[in-house]
C-alpha cells in the first residue's frame, strides 16, 4: 500500500505532522512553515486519506495506522545514509485528533525513535461514547451533498459553526468533471471512528509515562474529548503539559495558531 509523504521544508532532525479524520497532510501547511525552524518537517497522509491508498486488507484500527507512522519514522531515522541516529533523529511527533492518537501510540511503542510528542484534542478513551455518535457523524458527512460546485461552496458547507473547519475541508477535496468530492470515503472514516469507541488506550499512556518523552496535550475550549480526560492523561505522565485554549473548537491549531505555536515552539526548543 502506497502512503503519501509531504515535505514542508527545513533541515535537521525530523518533525512529523499527522492530520485528523477526513484530513490530509497539506492541511498543516500554515503550521508546518513555522515549525521548519526545528528541523525537517514532513506530513503523512493516513491510509485512505489524501493521496494515500486504502488498505487492501481493510485494516483501519489505530494500532495498524500507528504502525504506518513507525514505518515512516524508521525510514527517516534508521535507514542508511550519512550521520548518526542522533543527527538524523529521533523525531518530534505532532498530531491532531486521529493523528494525535496515532502519534501517541507510535511514541508509546517506540520511545527510542521519538524526542517529543504533541497531541491535539484527541481522547485516549471514548469507550463511554454514546452508541449513536459514530452513526451521527456518518449521517452528518453524508448529508452534505457531493459534489460541491466550488471551493467556496465547500467552505460554506463545512464552515459551521467554525469557519476554520470550512477552510480545512476545502483542502480535503478533489476536483472532478462534475465538481468537488471528498478525498476520504465517509464509510471509511466511520469505520475508523468506530474503533475509538471500542478500545481505550490507557496502557499506551502508562508506557509514555515510563518513557521520559516530553509531552504536550492541547485541548480545545469546545473539545471533542470527554471533560477532564486530557488533564487526567497529563497527570499520569511526569512533566507533561496540559494546555486548554479557550474560544477554540476542535481545530485548535487553525483557530488559535499563535497560542498553539507558542506552546509547540517551547516544547521543541528544549528537546
Domains of the chain as residue ranges with CATH: 5-127+191-269 (3.40.50.1820)
Q: Where are the beta strands (DSSP E) in 48-169?
A: 91-96, 114-120
Phi, psi (5° rounding) for residue 246?
Answer: -70, 155
pLDDT at residue 17, rounded to an integer: 98
Phi, psi (5° rounding) for residue 141?
Answer: -65, -40
Under the banding of pLDDT at 50, 70 and 90, the label for residue 135 is confident
pLDDT at residue 58, rounded to an integer: 86
Cell digits of residue 218? 492541547
**CA diameter of the chain:** 53
Contact status, residue 188 vs residue 22, Cβ threshold 8 Å: no
pLDDT above 50 (res 139): yes
Contact status, residue 102 vs residue 62, Cβ threshold 8 Å: yes
7-60: per-residue pLDDT in tens?
Answer: 999 999 999 999 999 999 999 999 999 999 999 999 999 999 999 999 988 899
Q: Which residue has the higher pLDDT, 70 or 141?
A: 70
* Closest to 208 (Cα-Cα) out of 230, 240, 231: 240
Residues 6+ positions from 37 with CB-CB distance below 8 Å: 10, 265
Amino acid at each position: 500500500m502506497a502512503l503519501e509523504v509531504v515535505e514542508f521544508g527545513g533541515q535537521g532532525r525530523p518533525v512529523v505532522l499527522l492530520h485528523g479524520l477526513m484530513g490530509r497532510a497539506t492541511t498543516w501547511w500554515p503550521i508546518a512553515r513555522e515549525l521548519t525552524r526545528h528541523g525537517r518537517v514532513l506530513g503523512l497522509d493516513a491510509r485512505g486519506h489524501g493521496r494515500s491508498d486504502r488498505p487492501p486488507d481493510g485494516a483501519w484500527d489505530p494500532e495498524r495506522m500507528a504502525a504506518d507512522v513507525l514505518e515512516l519514522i524508521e525510514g527517516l531515522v534508521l535507514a542508511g545514509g550519512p550521520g548518526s541516529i542522533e543527527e538524523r533523529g529521533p523525531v518530534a511527533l505532532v498530531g491532531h485528533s486521529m493523528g494525535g492518537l496515532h502519534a501517541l501510540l507510535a511514541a508509546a511503542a517506540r520511545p527510542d525513535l521519538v524526542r517529543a510528542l504533541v497531541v491535539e484534542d484527541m481522547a485516549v478513551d471514548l469507550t463511554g461514547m454514546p452508541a449513536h455518535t459514530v452513526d451521527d457523524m456518518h449521517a452528518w458527512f453524508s448529508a452534505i451533498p457531493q459534489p460541491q460546485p466550488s471551493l467556496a461552496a465547500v467552505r460554506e458547507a463545512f464552515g459551521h459553526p467554525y469557519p476554520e473547519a470550512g477552510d480545512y475541508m476545502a483542502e480535503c477535496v478533489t476536483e472532478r468533471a462534475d465538481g468537488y468530492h471528498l478525498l476520504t470515503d465517509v464509510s471509511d472514516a466511520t469505520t475508523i471512528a468506530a474503533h475509538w469507541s471500542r478500545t481505550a488506550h490507557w496502557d499506551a499512556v502508562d508506557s509514555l509515562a515510563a518513557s521520559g518523552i516530553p509531552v504536550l496535550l492541547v485541548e480545545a475550549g469546545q473539545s471533542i474529548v470527554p471533560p477532564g480526560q486530557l488533564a487526567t492523561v497529563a497527570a499520569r505522565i511526569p512533566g507533561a503539559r496540559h494546555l486548554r485554549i479557550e474560544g477554540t473548537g476542535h481545530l485548535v491549531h487553525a483557530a488559535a495558531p499563535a497560542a498553539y505555536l507558542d506552546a509547540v515552539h517551547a516544547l521543541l526548543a528544549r528537546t
